[in-house]
Amino acid sequence: MKKDIYTLGIESSCDETSVSVVKNGREVLSNVIHSQIDIHKQFGGVVPEIASRNHVEAISTVTKEALEIAGITFSEIDAICPTYGPGLVGALLVGVAYAKALAYALDKPLVGVNHIEGHIAANYITHPKLQPPFLCLVVSGGHTHLVYIKDYTEFEILARTRDDAIGEAFDKVARVIGLQYPGGPKIDKLAKEGEANINLPHTYFENSLDFSFSGIKTAILNLYHKNPEVNKADLCASFEKTVVDMLLTNTKKALQELHIKKLAIAGGVSANPYIREGFLKMGQEEKIEVFYPELKLCTDNAAMIASAGYYHFIKGNASDLSLNAVPNLKI
């Protein structure tokens, strides 16, 4: 009988300290998330030095809790899988250094995981039958990518943002109109009370599926400064509608060009109900199967890292103790 494989995921790339035990890449035995949002909220965004310090304080306790909930000991773990990029360098270093110390002391394999691959893998947990190849739209606070998933560890980037990430645009627009960090969920809530009746610019590029969100962000800032009395709910609804239009247009083109009928969405912004509905509708119209992670796996968590780590581990892609944090790591 095939032996079960248990991976320990460690995520500390931004403002969540998270540790998780996942069985065979798909079954979450524990996924403890210690969020620092309340700490960073008062500063209007993540303060890197404060994030690192909080990771240092939380990481041992979070790991202990993750093992306890999973009902497993260190000796039963097959591979230790920290996020090593992209992200804030000091924050990443906490998880990487901790994982290296564990791997050395326990004499276990170390598998460095790319955070974006983790977001994609969140879909494997929610959809146990999902297998590559498929197209994935990654929409998070730091990234907006269209990725062709050829195999579990083989990726091709088809498009990326040329300026702001979509989550960054949500957060910046929110800040300008007086909503607290993180702005995405606040815009989402307010948009439900408004109507998408304000014209905002769409940005597309010739011969490229790349994205750009700085134009719409600047348009909203100008509009708001000229007319602070504008209906904020309508502004949020119009912003959501315009960004979803841009995402849908380019994603549809990529699906058609590649003749792919399977699309996954991943990353924190994929928690947005308007985006989820928009893509599900497009899926029905175009006969495309659309997959999302369950809500709690959309934003940063270590279960998705443990899942991505599993697929590298079974491929033999282990790291050595020279593994370092790579803040601008690409996939």
Please give the residue ranges that form the binding site for Zn ion (CB under 5 A): 140, 300
Does position 183 bind ligand KG4 by CB under 6 A? yes
- Minimum Å gap between C-beta 300 and ligand KG4 is 4
Which residue, 103 or 297, has its beta carbon nearer to Zn ion?
297
118 binds, among ligand KG4, Zn ion, none (CB under 5 to 8 A by kind): none
Residue position matching structure tokens 């408004």:
194
Q: How far is CA 194 from the centre of its chain?
A: 27
β 262-266/134-139 pair status: parallel
Closest-CA residue to 226 (of 251, 248, 198): 198
Nearer to ligand KG4, 19 or 67 (CB): 19
Based on CB atoms, which residue is closest to ligand KG4, 185 or 283?
185
Instruction: List the one residue from 9, 109, 267, 293 that touches ligand KG4 (CB under 6 A).
Output: 267
| Per CB under 6 A, 85 contacts ligand KG4 | no
- Round to whole Å and give the CA distance between 300 and 12: 9
Does residue 185 interact with ligand KG4 by CB under 6 A?
Answer: yes
| Nearest approach, Cβ of residue 299 and Zn ion (Å) | 7
Beta-bridge mates of residue 21: 8, 30
Q: How far is CA 88 from the centre of its chain?
A: 14
3-state secondary structure of 141: coil
Q: Give the number of residues written for the chain.
A: 331
Binding-site partner at residue 272 among Zn ion, ligand KG4, none, CB < 5 to 8 Å by type: ligand KG4
- Give the residue with the Cβ less far from ligand KG4, 103 or 275: 275
Q: Taking CB under 6 A as the rule, does residue 269 contact ligand KG4?
A: yes
User: How far is Cα 43 from Cα 21, in angstroms, rounded to an integer?
Assistant: 32
- Whole-number Cα distances in Å, 30 to 27, 67, 303: 9, 7, 8
* H/E element, 135: strand 134-139
Nearer to ligand KG4, 9 or 182 (CB): 182
Q: How far is the CB of 122 from ligand KG4 (least distance, A)?
A: 9
CB–CB of 6/72 below 8 Å?
A: yes
- Does 117 interact with ligand KG4 (rule: CB under 6 A)? no
190 scored as a contact of ligand KG4 (CB under 6 A): no
Beta bridge partners, 30, equal 21
Q: If contact means CB under 5 to 8 A according to the sort of partner, which of Zn ion, ligand KG4, none does residue 270 touch?
A: none
269 binds, among Zn ion, ligand KG4, none (CB under 5 to 8 A by kind): ligand KG4
Q: Quick check: 9 binds ligand KG4 (CB under 6 A)?
A: no
Q: State the virtual CA torsion across 235, 238, 240, 242 in degrees, nearest 10.
A: -140
- What's the rounded Cα separation, in Å, for the pair 183 and 206? 31
Q: Which residues pair with 161 in a beta bridge?
A: 211
Q: Quick one: which of 78, 117, 164, 188 contacts ligand KG4 (CB under 6 A)? A: 188
Question: Across the chain, how many H-helices and E-strands are there?
Answer: 10, 10
Least separation in angstroms between residue 275's CB and Zn ion is 16
Q: Which is nearer to ligand KG4, 132 or 183 (CB)?
A: 183
Q: Which of 19, 28, 24, 22 is nearest to 5 (CA)?
A: 24
Q: Is there binding between residue 278 and ligand KG4 (CB under 6 A)?
A: no
In the complex with ligand KG4, which residue's Cβ is closer, 185 or 215? Answer: 185
Q: 123 vs 242, which CB is nearer to Zn ion?
A: 123
CA 73 from chain centre, in angstroms, equals 28
**Is residue 14 part of the contact set for ligand KG4 (CB under 6 A)?**
yes
Q: Which residues bind ligand KG4 (CB under 6 A)?
A: 14, 140-142, 167, 170-171, 182-185, 188, 267-269, 271-272, 299-300
